[in-house]
Structure 1
Amino acid sequence: MTSPDGLLPALTFGDGPRLAVAVHGITASAMEWPAVARCLPADWTLVAPDLRGRGAAAGLPGPYGLQRHVEDVCALVRARRPRETVLVGHSMGAYVALLAAVAEPGLFDRLVLVDGGLPLPPPPEGVSVDEVLQATLGPAIARLSRTFESEQAYLDFFRAHPALADAWNEDVAGYVRYDLAGPSGAQRSRVVEEAVRADGRDVLVRAGDFAAAWEALTVPGVLLRAPLGLFGEAPGLLGDDAVAEAGRRRPDIVVDTVDGANHYTIVLDEQFAARVARRIAGE
């Protein structure tokens, strides 16, 4: 359900006058941000909405897609009218954040993209978008239709993930618990598969829009990049060629490679989350 003011449900961390609005990844939720929020200075508040089809917003109606998320995020910021707002996006959330910052630049003072936001390579000739989705997000999508006997079974399932096994901590456990719903013996993820597929297609087919947005961006920005990818191994999600091309086109946008981080631990592991927090705070 929505919050009383009709906006996306959101988690709020801190109570400072400076605002960071943090947008999560494609099968994630607002609970990917506590470690980052904890590392921010005391004069910051971090607000993390659950996007449609995820977390506490799982029951919100479609249509899904990046443009709908852009509209939702901008509405949330307009309603708060803070003195200063930094927009942060991780993974798919980085694409939402980039498009939002270009659509309504007056709402945001700075933009922080975390392992996302750059155009991804198009599908090879003869390979469909859905086949690429299956190759990249197949295991994540498969979990959405699977049921689990207990909370512990769901925790064990995540703990076996190669990107998380060696970085397990209470933030990861809290993130996993928040995603779980349903009765004992038949619990499952709250993420709506239709939303993931719609959003994933957008990320793959809108490369031209992301390139144009990168060129048109007027809000000061920084890109943090994880050198390890979705399964905890090199290469990272953002390839060297894509990063080099982005730097050539926009040398004013800082690219910061977070050594040792993978696509998930860059926000879920405090040692890397602290780097994200410093960039949000403008350090």
Structure 2
Amino acid sequence: MEQVKVEVPDGTLTALRFGTGPKIVVAAHGITASGMAFRAVARQLPPDWSLIALDLRGRGGSNELPGPYGMTRHAEDICAAAEQFGQGRPVALVGQSMGAYAALRAAARRPELFTRLVLVDGGLPLPVPADADPDAVLAATLGPAIARLSDTFASEEVYVDFFRAHPALAADWNDDMIAYVRYDVTGPHGAIRSRVSGDAVREDGRDLLVGAASFGADLVGLAVPTMLLHAPRGMFGQEPGMLPAPLVAHWREQAPHLVTELVEDCNHYTILMTEGPAAVIARHLTAE
């Protein structure tokens, strides 16, 4: 792995490059994550491939890049990476959770940059009642994750142990998850905290809710072959998954370029960060 830079109009975006092959995958992570979340997927790619895992603005090494945030802004950054590393050739694109929505927006706006799109447990419009308060919904769904971003921890090891106890991670805890958590660390000993910007998470989370209809339009208008891989269990390791079966079936019927596949025995996080599901993702990214 090496750290690389993506040139964007207002600065540079940090990315992690896994591999040295000429065939390129660009990857976009979840709402409080970083490019390190794709380490297991990168390891499953053939040797003639490289994976460029972005730290989206407000996260990881890109945490000081300014807003505004939102899926359209992240999509612009994804397209910049595709142009820079594709060097005139289209690349494969993958996004997980929030990153799936940003990747969807990128593929919908600039289809000529991408050979295929893989959505991992995200990308479908979230069903939100018309009269719902987006801020209240955000607090109910992402409240604990946002609260963590302002917490401090006594040491890096304490921060690792905090993640190790998460109900969706504990049973499958592995070295990739440890590397992911350590990459997120900043601050002095005694006041360790996450590198993720709370402002970015709040703005992005709100965009996912209020912009739900726009993601439906993106799906229907897709011109890029697209695979949705979804998990049977959700953010806390329990059924149902983030994308219920009726929602998946509805958008499979509506979007002509969308194919879907349930990845067995995983949750919203382990679909990306454990060996078996990571191999499924890699297989779809490199399919001819």
In the alignment, the residues of structure 2 paired with residue 171 and residue 78 of structure 1 have an alpha-carbon distance, to the nearest angstrom, of 28
Q: Which moved more, 1:31-40 or 1:82-91?
A: 82-91
Q: Indicate the residue corresponding to 1:282 in structure 2.
A: 287
Q: Indicate the residue corresponding to 2:107 in structure 1.
A: 101
Instruction: Tell me by how many angstroms 1:34 deviates.
Output: 0.6
Would you say the 8 A contact 1:114–1:224 is kept in 2? yes
Q: Indicate the residue corresponding to 1:257 in structure 2.
A: 262
- Structure 1 residue 47 corresponds to structure 2 residue 52: yes
Find the residue that maps to 1:87 and give its secondary structure: strand
Task: Give the TM-score of the pair, scaled to structure 2.
Answer: 0.94
Q: Give percent identity, aligned residues only.
A: 57
Would you say the 8 A contact 1:18–1:84 is kept in 2? no
Task: Give the TM-score of the pair, scaled to structure 1.
Answer: 0.96
In the alignment, the residues of structure 2 paired with residue 159 and residue 240 of structure 1 have an alpha-carbon distance, to the nearest angstrom, of 29
Deviations 1:46-92, CA, capped at 9 Å, x for gaps? 00110111000011111111111111111121122343410100000
Instruction: Tell me by how many angstroms 1:142 deviates.
Output: 1.0
**Comparing both structures, which one devotes a greater share of its residues to strand?**
2
Structural mapping, 1:43-122, within 5 Å: 43-82=48-87, 83-122=89-128
Q: Indicate the residue corresponding to 1:162 in structure 2.
A: 167
Structural mapping, 1:18-33, within 5 Å: 18-33=23-38
Over aligned residues, Cα RMSD in angstroms? Answer: 1.6
The amino acid of 1:119's aligned partner reads P
- Structure 1 residue 16 corresponds to structure 2 residue 18: no
Deviations 1:121-179, CA, capped at 9 Å, x for gaps? 11463x41111111111111111000000011101110111000101000000000001
Instruction: Tell me by how many angstroms 1:277 deviates.
Output: 0.7
Would you say the 8 A contact 1:90–1:116 is kept in 2? yes
Moved over 4 A (4+): none
Find the residue that maps to 1:219 and give its secondary structure: coil
Unaligned stretches of 5+ in structure 1?
none
Find the residue that maps to 1:146 and give its secondary structure: coil
The amino acid of 1:3's aligned partner reads K
Instruction: Tell me by how many angstroms 1:43 deviates.
Output: 1.1
May I ask how many residue pairs the two structures share in their alignment? 282
Unaligned stretches of 5+ in structure 2?
none
Instruction: Tell me by how many angstroms 1:4 deviates.
Output: 7.6
In the alignment, the residues of structure 2 paired with residue 119 and residue 198 of structure 1 have an alpha-carbon distance, to the nearest angstrom, of 17
Find the residue that maps to 1:110 and give its secondary structure: strand
Instruction: Tell me by how many angstroms 1:256 deviates.
Output: 0.9
The amino acid of 1:152's aligned partner reads E
Find the residue that maps to 2:5 and give its secondary structure: coil
- Structure 1 residue 3 corresponds to structure 2 residue 5: yes
Deviations 1:175-232, CA, capped at 9 Å, x for gaps? 0000110000001000000000000001111111011111100011100001100000
The amino acid of 1:165's aligned partner reads A
Find the residue that maps to 1:191 and give its secondary structure: coil
Q: Indicate the residue corresponding to 1:217 in structure 2.
A: 222
Q: Indicate the residue corresponding to 1:198 in structure 2.
A: 203
In the alignment, the residues of structure 2 paired with residue 80 and residue 154 of structure 1 have an alpha-carbon distance, to the nearest angstrom, of 34
Find the residue that maps to 2:13 and give its secondary structure: coil
Would you say the 8 A contact 2:19–2:47 is kept in 1? yes
Instruction: Tell me by how many angstroms 1:252 deviates.
Output: 4.2
In the alignment, the residues of structure 2 paired with residue 191 and residue 269 of structure 1 have an alpha-carbon distance, to the nearest angstrom, of 23
Would you say the 8 A contact 2:6–2:13 is kept in 1? no
Find the residue that maps to 1:109 and give its secondary structure: strand
Would you say the 8 A contact 2:93–2:114 is kept in 1? yes
The amino acid of 1:238's aligned partner reads L
